[in-house]
Chains A and B, each alone.
Chain A
Amino acid sequence: MAAQPKPLPVEGPHYLEGGGILGWLTTVDHKRVAVLYGVTALLLMLVGGTEAMLIRTQLMRPDNHVLTAAWYNQIFTMHGTTMIFLVIMPLETGFFANFLIPLQIGARDVAFPRINALSYWLFLAGAVFMHLGLVTHVLNLGTVPSGLPNAGWFGYANLTESQYSPGLNIDFWDIGLLILGVSSVLAALNFFVTIVNMRAPGMTFMRMPMFMWAILVTTILILLAFPALTVGLIFLFLDRFFGTHFYRVTAGATPILWQHLFWIFGHPEVYIMALPAFGMISEILPVFSRKPLFGYPMMAYSLVLIAFLSYGVWGHHMFATGMGPIADATFAITSMLIAIPTGIKVFSWIATVWGGRLRFTTAMLFALAFIIEFTIGGLSGIMHASAPIDLQQTDSYFVVAHFHYVLGGGVLFAILGAFYYWCPKISGRMLDETLGKWQFWLLVIGFNLTFFPMHWLGTWGMPRRIYTYAPGMGWSTLNFVETIGAYIQAVSFIVFFANILLTLRRGEKAAADPWDGRTLEWSVASPPPAYNFAVLPEGGSRDDFWVQKYGTLAGAHGGGSSAAGATAAAHAAAEAAEHIHMPAPSLYPLLFALGVFLMGVGALAWLRIVILGGMVVALSIIAMAFEYPAHGEEAAESEPVFYRGVDNRKAGMWAFLGSECVFFTALISTYMVYKSRNLAGPDAQILNIPLTSFSTFILLMSSLLMVLALAAFRRGDDKWGRIWLLGTAGFGCIFLGGQVYEFTDFYLQGLYMQTNIFGQTFYTLVGTHGFHVFIGVCWLVTLAIAGFLGKIDSKRSLAVEIAGLYWHFVDVVWIVIFTLVYLMRTVKHA
């Protein structure tokens, strides 16, 4: 085995030191970005928790009026939205995964450091945007609209239509979620490529820490689930801002479309939250049981199986909509099947603990409680998989109990355990164990007191989302008990935040390996240096650091890691560190996110602000493209850019295109469904086949020019490379010109976006494709300019190849659109 770093004492600067405020604003270090995510999400946890307390206070007594009905709607909507999108997801992926991925796989940073920073700033922009209505309310700005989103975290149509929600509340939610979606997809893309492509040389997939497996599968879920939500939100945006009818029955559309799009995203979203928690537990239990994880291969395969099945179960959220017996039975079976891989995990966790020499630290207590609480939530989940039972339970407090046991007792307990487990590595200080145990027991008691009685209340018929209830319903006592439980939970979180603040001020300093850990992050100092590893590890075995220490997976006995030779290793590391070149900081991710935020604000009222925001975004992208040092040139000569034989940028582009497949599929499916439901006005017969055939020819030939450009650059013929690039862009412009002509012609014939559901789906689908072509043309022109400036040549032809991949994808999407939309225009319902 190659020499590996031993646990190092803190010598020299760590990642938290230096830089000042500007350093934090421009950071691209994954650890600092993670801390930004963590601090923001913890602050938002206070917001979401306060909202929960308001809900429980309002429901403490019958006929209570702590909140008005209107405020109650806003508070429960934002509680769900905040906890899911602004607390749990960012804590799991933005904070823990971001911090730990490079450290656990033996890398210096993530694949795309600037995109990592961009993901955070977009997340912040989305979070702030969603609360803008509260800001204007608190500031009491008179005529400026105020109010939080108020249609539930699920935002069911047509409750969200402007007819029923005339204020800006839903607009804050819609645009805020769109921004958050972009942030999530970018982060997922980044982490996916990092894990696939940047693992230590000896770290095969079956040697990865289980948390890495969980994050890898989670990123796939995000990449392939969020596009469906994005499409649903775009439809909602068009309905509210442009008067289309995607969810209006009177126009022949159906609000059920929203439910399908939302839950195609929504059920994988449950696993986007649950799988990282599974991974965290799978790291904590072996360390404090002093045993390797039981059934590692099955644990990994079950993650994959859960993710795969999660795409086929969305209908169990819609049993009450009347999908019919075949659909109900199909979704019931697939939903029940998920219990199998989940059961494998629960039994494997129990078997990991079984016979171990347990240490009941706070992290371990949370991990053990997770198994129990999550299993309770999982069992009630299986009940919902049965359509007849679900019909009795849906929209009742039984469902509230179920998902709080999954996401609260399950996911949140795992996150808290992870805080106690990894805080020493992140902050360099130990969280106080006594306070931790106080927090744990208060939370366990408070949590079960709050949520277990909801099973009974739901069974007795108490519906969810009601802001009050009459005294004679028989629900008063249990609601009172639940509110007491909620207050106990609040006390436990006060203890938690006090613990964090005390730790940061005067907590015990953490050793590099305080828990006798098994994975590579424990082999570096606490907190780690900016470059993570002075010498990149080999990662040649599962639980690599444990094997280094003890020789085998099962391991020798004794506590604590060996510090022998640590000082010598530190000196060697310091010497090596002088030659490590890390990515340069950049202000452009922050400016990009600011531009997006301005575009969102402008969309609510002022077109000029949209244009200004768009210009900031465009300039930020161009500046990033030409920012020095260029990607791939920032590493030292001795460090390869390629890690596993493929380039990060190319891998990222392919993963992005995979995500785009789902995005366009949602658009095309909607067109196919709605085309036949058109009630009046022009329909698909209006489509001009000769014109579009010419456009198709032009786009296909542009792909030929694109590959000719690439071939020219590769053989060193830069002049022809630039010519073919400009030719490709020119053909793209001709295609766009044809589309403008087509749209103008339809407009003159009376087909507007608002005319009927054919018009809205056609313009949205074809227009979105056209927008992609426009982006491609801008990209190609930028590349051509770079070529004229001498920045593209045979050695850097990969930039052209990656742009080409995008261009050809736009081409293949058009091949599908040309067939399904144009050539099949006569295919209709009988």
Chain B
Amino acid sequence: MSANIAQSAALEHEHPGVSIYVTVAVFLILLTGMELTVFYVQFLQPVLVPLLIILAIAKFSLVAMFYMHLHYDSKVFTTFFIFPLMLAVTLAISLLLLFEYLLHHLSFAL
């Protein structure tokens, strides 16, 4: 058992320090604040959707890269996660297109 644990320690990836974790948290709060700003400020309404999507992607990426350690860990895990994620996003877009949602949404946004 001790050999396993020693090997476990040897194979573990590097983790970021506490300061990085706190910095990411600060960015997450700032990005959430920006989201709320975009939501409430009237003149940003025409670009509400793209701005919110960009901000959400930024938050999502920060958590995945630093808190879930994808930035530091084996690339195998990144593959495990990113491929299904891309597939899921493609399926979602396909479904929305098939139900004509995006068509109507675009005409609304414009």
Q: Are B49 and A827 in contact (CB under 8 A)?
A: yes
Q: Are A710 and B3 in contact (CB under 8 A)?
A: no
Q: Are A710 and B49 in contact (CB under 8 A)?
A: no
Q: Are B95 and A669 in contact (CB under 8 A)?
A: yes
Kindly identify which residue among A633, A657, A801, A811 contacts B1, using a CB–CB cutoff of 8 Å: A633
A646 neighbours in B (Cβ, 8 Å):
11, 74, 76-77
Q: Are A669 and B96 in contact (CB under 8 A)?
A: yes
Q: Which residue of B lies closest to A264 (CB)?
A: B91
B38 neighbours in A (Cβ, 8 Å):
823
Q: Are A647 and B8 in contact (CB under 8 A)?
A: yes
Given known A-B contacts A637-B2, A710-B15, A798 and B81 have beta carbons under 8 A apart:
no
The segment out of A60-68, A395-403, A617-625, A696-704 that lies at the interface is A696-704
Most central of B3, B38, B68 by chain A CB within 10 Å: B68
Is A491 positioned at the interface, with any CB of B under 8 Å from its CB?
no
Q: Which residue of B lies closest to A261 (CB)?
A: B95
Given known A-B contacts A669-B95, A819-B55, A651 and B77 have beta carbons under 8 A apart:
yes
CA A196 – CA B83 in complex, angstroms?
15
Output the least CB separation between B16 and chain A (Å). Answer: 8
CA A559 – CA B36 in complex, angstroms?
75
CA A416 – CA B3 in complex, angstroms?
45
Q: Are A812 and B1 in contact (CB under 8 A)?
A: no
CA A223 – CA B88 in complex, angstroms?
12
CA A676 – CA B104 in complex, angstroms?
10
**Chain A residues touching B, majority SS:** helix
Contact with A along B1-19 (1 / 0, CB 8 A): 1111101110110010110
Q: Are A704 and B48 in contact (CB under 8 A)?
A: no
Is A707 positioned at the interface, with any CB of B under 8 Å from its CB?
yes
A647 neighbours in B (Cβ, 8 Å):
8, 11
A311 neighbours in B (Cβ, 8 Å):
87, 90-91
Q: Which residue of B lies closest to A193 (CB)?
A: B80
Kindly identify which residue among B5, B18, B87 contacts A711, using a CB–CB cutoff of 8 Å: B18
Output the least CB separation between B66 and chain A (Å). Answer: 8
CA A798 – CA B15 in complex, angstroms?
12
CA A804 – CA B24 in complex, angstroms?
16
The segment out of A121-129, A444-452, A659-667, A782-790 that lies at the interface is A659-667
Output the least CB separation between B99 and chain A (Å). Answer: 5
Q: Which residue of A lies closest to B20 (CB)?
A: A707
Given known A-B contacts A657-B81, A673-B96, A673-B99, A819 and B8 have beta carbons under 8 A apart:
no
A633 neighbours in B (Cβ, 8 Å):
1, 4
Kindly identify which residue among A224, A264, A824, A828 contacts B84, using a CB–CB cutoff of 8 Å: A224
Q: Are B101 and A673 in contact (CB under 8 A)?
A: yes
Most central of A327, A664, A711 by chain B CB within 10 Å: A711
Q: Are B3 and A654 in contact (CB under 8 A)?
A: no
**Residues of chain A from 597 to 645 with CB closer than 8 A to chain B in the complex:** 632-633, 635, 637-638, 640-642, 645
B96 neighbours in A (Cβ, 8 Å):
669, 672-673
CA A657 – CA B73 in complex, angstroms?
16
A815 neighbours in B (Cβ, 8 Å):
56, 59-60, 63
Given known A-B contacts A673-B95, A829-B108, A701 and B25 have beta carbons under 8 A apart:
yes
Kindly identify which residue among B4, B59, B101 contacts A829, using a CB–CB cutoff of 8 Å: B101
Q: Are B95 and A816 in contact (CB under 8 A)?
A: no
Q: Which residue of B lies closest to A674 (CB)?
A: B99
B9 neighbours in A (Cβ, 8 Å):
795
Given known A-B contacts A260-B95, A704-B22, A819 and B107 have beta carbons under 8 A apart:
no
**Residues of chain B from 46 to 65 with CB closer than 8 A to chain A in the complex:** 48-49, 52-53, 55-56, 59-60, 63-64
Kindly identify which residue among A315, A808, A828 contacts B67, using a CB–CB cutoff of 8 Å: A808
A795 neighbours in B (Cβ, 8 Å):
5, 8-9
Given known A-B contacts A260-B95, A824-B48, A641 and B15 have beta carbons under 8 A apart:
no
Output the least CB separation between B90 and chain A (Å). Answer: 8
B55 neighbours in A (Cβ, 8 Å):
819
Kindly identify which residue among B56, B74, B77 contacts A819, using a CB–CB cutoff of 8 Å: B56
B29 neighbours in A (Cβ, 8 Å):
697, 700
Output the least CB separation between A222 and chain B (Å). Answer: 12
Q: Which residue of A lies closest to B38 (CB)?
A: A823
Is A655 positioned at the interface, with any CB of B under 8 Å from its CB?
yes
B39 neighbours in A (Cβ, 8 Å):
689, 823
Most central of B24, B36, B99 by chain A CB within 10 Å: B99
Q: Beyond A815-B63, A823-B38: 4 further Cβ-contacts under 8 Å?
A: A311-B87, A655-B80, A673-B99, A830-B105
Which B residues are closer than 8 A to A by beta carbons?
1-5, 7-9, 11-12, 15, 17-18, 21-22, 24-25, 28-29, 32, 35-36, 38-39, 45, 48-49, 52-53, 55-56, 59-60, 63-64, 66-69, 74, 76-77, 80-81, 83-85, 87-92, 94-99, 101, 104-105, 107-109
A-B contact pairs, 30 of them (CB 8 A): A196-B76, A312-B94, A632-B8, A640-B3, A640-B7, A642-B4, A642-B7, A645-B11, A646-B76, A651-B76, A654-B77, A657-B80, A658-B83, A658-B85, A661-B87, A662-B84, A707-B67, A708-B18, A711-B15, A795-B9, A801-B69, A804-B68, A808-B68, A811-B67, A812-B60, A818-B35, A819-B52, A819-B53, A827-B48, A828-B108
